[in-house]
Amino acid sequence: TTDHLVLFMPSGKRGRFPKGTTVLDAARQLGVYVESVCGGRATCGRCQIEVQEGHFAKHKISSSKESISPVGPREARYAEKRDLPAGRRLSCSATVEGDLVVDVPQDTVINAQVVRKDADARVIERFPAVHLCYVEVEEPDMHRPLGDLDRLRQQLRKDWGFGRIEADAHLLPLVQPILREGRWSVTAAVHQDEDDDAARLIALWPGLKNEAYGLACDIGSTTIAMHLVSLLSGRVVASAGASNPQIRFGEDLMSRVSYVMMNPDGREAMTRAVRQEISKLVQKVADNGGIERDDILDSVFVANPIMHHLFLGIDPTELGGAPFALAVSGAVRMNADDLRLKLNPGARTYLLPCIAGHVGADAAAVTLSEGPHRQDRMMLIVDVGTNAEIVLGNRERVVAASSPTGPAFEGAEISSGQRAAPGAIERVRIDRQTLEPRYRVIGSDLWSDDPGFPASVGETGVTGVCGSGIIEVVAEMYLTGIISEDGVIDGALAARSPRIVANGRTFSYVLSEAEPRLTITQNDVRAIQLAKAALYAGIRLLMEKQEVETVDVIRFAGAFGSFIDPQYAMVLGLIPDCELENVSAVGNAAGTGARMALLNRNFRREIEETVRRIEKIETALEPKFQEHFVHAMALPNKIDPFPKLAA
């Protein structure tokens, strides 16, 4: 046979194709996503690939420059007119001439808040819901009175294989002038999501248009983070963040729900505030990316249930108490216009499904990103905020819950606590003999006993202790014997160290003598014990549901998780015993999940289906929660062993 083996990287998909097949066709047939706007006319330049040369023993295939056709006239013309990087070929023009290994270059992603390099540079396989399609439409003919829009749709079906195509109403008055301006050549943006047979024409441009963008946005109760992503290359073009302006209505989630309940126009005010801020962020990323808002055609939002509801204009009162009823738990699809986002008038919006009344679309996005449901190992995902959202599972079964940890881990309710910001102590070590502390502060590389400290901290100076610093100082106090297993600060040590001082009937540990004086009080230790016991009890409950005694992998999501040292988290018993090398922080996994849903509509289906399958556990209703909680008040735990920690 004259068929040749073609292997596509990085997907690893392969198949045999007759000599002369275009590489683009081969990709299509194997379901490898290669972008194309011009439909193979060698004009859009979106279908670029690279030939890999050499012998690939693992795949038993050799590939060389001779395996692909030489550059033909159309491709040469494109390379001359536009810029085709060295080594790149247009897959719509290049044909298979021998066994071939093809690399589909994915412009990797650069995340502003780089936490774990490999996670942020993750290549997301693309299959976007919005697709640009260039077509050449037949000119009108008196003898065939088919409307301009109808001939356009006909051509789209013919060239691009769509089934039914509806057109957005706002396009109706625009079709004729745009077709004429483009001299019957136009680029259509077609949206296709849930239903493969139903497509929507959402935007139209004269001539060839070969760039379109989408937004991936995580609406947190404290901050909003947005990425502008090229729908054609997958590249993050710009990122921006802002504080959630709803903070002025209430610091935490419950106080915002109360605000809605107490103020007749409270819901409206908060919806307006968050949408306005998001609209400002859109302008910011568009400016930074050097694009027009009109070029943004799709958007994905993730948020906790209360932020999700307020963004959609839904009263969140029901989420304020049992049974924590969501107005809508499934994924939401709508026109971006309905949210007043001022993107392209045809732009779409997608919100990931919410898992439960206090396990939101953000947790769904983290689940999509980390994929417990895609693997055999038992994976625990912990996202610590005022509520800790916990997901535990594997391919077989996934369970989820939220635990009422309170804001202690974020530095609130701690006498010297503060949010993570320059000047906050984030690392602490206490000398086992002298009980003298050393610490490091956000914004400085020096330890407190290094020469040049505290000048290195800059203008702020040392201001307080952030969440990860509190975890470390309490863990170190436990390791040095300053606090007992029950969390009591040992006053007898006051005789040995000036760091232990009386504070009413209890004792405190003086972390810093300088202004401001920072101490860890008995109440602070208690607050951390309560928070960690709530977190651990929730995790333990899920482990019981899964009938496991240990977990294989632990992923910390979110800002808190990025800075916390897993070893100290385990010393305090925040998380169950696990191989330390299998415990990692995954940074803004919710943002990654949002990007995945933006770039590939199959991921939307995947998470919708997974969320339907996830078993939701209501910690408040579980009788064993209290029992686990009590045991988890001890350090690290009254009864549960931590053998890997001991080792």
Whichever of 82 and 248 has its CB closer to ligand FES, that residue is 82
44 binds ligand FES (CB under 6 A): yes
Instruction: Choose, by CB under 6 A, the member of 6, 26, 61, 92 that binds ligand FES.
Output: 92
38 binds ligand FES (CB under 6 A): yes
Pairwise CA distance, residues 455 & 97, whole Å: 66
Angle at 211 between CA 210 and CA 217, to 5 degrees: 155
Instruction: Choose, by CB under 6 A, the member of 4, 27, 36, 411 that binds ligand FES.
Output: 36
Pairwise CA distance, residues 483 & 208, whole Å: 69
Whichever of 45 and 353 has its CB closer to ligand FES, that residue is 45
Segment lying near ligand FES (by CB under 6 A), choices 34-42, 107-115, 373-381, 550-558: 34-42
42 binds ligand FES (CB under 6 A): yes
Whichever of 74 and 342 has its CB closer to ligand FES, that residue is 74
Whichever of 90 and 399 has its CB closer to ligand FES, that residue is 90
Residue 268, Cβ neighbours under 10 Å: how many?
Answer: 14
Cα-flanking dihedrals φ and ψ of residue 226, to 5°? Answer: -130, 140
Segment lying near ligand FES (by CB under 6 A), choices 30-38, 337-345, 460-468, 593-601: 30-38
233 binds ligand FES (CB under 6 A): no
Whichever of 35 and 168 has its CB closer to ligand FES, that residue is 35
Whichever of 43 and 610 has its CB closer to ligand FES, that residue is 43
Query: For residue 560, what are the contacts with CB-CB under 8 A and spacing of at least 6?
Result: 384, 385, 409, 410, 420, 467, 468
The interaxial angle of helices 361-370 and 589-599, nearest 10 deg, is 80
Side-chain half-sphere exposure of 393, counting CA atoms within 13 A: 23
| Least distance between ligand FES and beta carbon 85 (Å) | 14
Three-state DSSP class for residue 126: coil
| Least distance between ligand FES and beta carbon 160 (Å) | 12
Alpha helices in 315-383 (DSSP H): 361-370
Does the bond joining 516 to the residue before it have cis omega, within 30 degrees of 0? yes
Segment lying near ligand FES (by CB under 6 A), choices 44-52, 80-88, 481-489, 517-525: 44-52
Instruction: Choose, by CB under 6 A, the member of 7, 47, 119, 483 that binds ligand FES.
Output: 47
135 binds ligand FES (CB under 6 A): no
Three-state DSSP class for residue 543: helix
DSSP codes joined into one string, 554-583: EEEEHHHHHHS-HHHHHHTTSS----GGGE
Whichever of 133 and 253 has its CB closer to ligand FES, that residue is 133
Return the closest-CA partner of residue 239 out of 585, 559, 600, 594: 594
482 binds ligand FES (CB under 6 A): no
Q: From residue 282, how far is each of 213, 232, 238, 293, 351 by CA, in Å?
A: 11, 19, 10, 7, 17
Joined together, the tokens standing for residue 321 give 């108490």
49 binds ligand FES (CB under 6 A): no
Whichever of 102 and 286 has its CB closer to ligand FES, that residue is 102
256 binds ligand FES (CB under 6 A): no
40 binds ligand FES (CB under 6 A): yes
Segment lying near ligand FES (by CB under 6 A), choices 35-43, 295-303, 306-314, 483-491: 35-43
Pairwise CA distance, residues 530 & 532, whole Å: 6
| Least distance between ligand FES and beta carbon 39 (Å) | 6
| Least distance between ligand FES and beta carbon 476 (Å) | 60
Which residues contribute to the site for ligand FES (CB under 6 A)?
36-38, 40-47, 90, 92
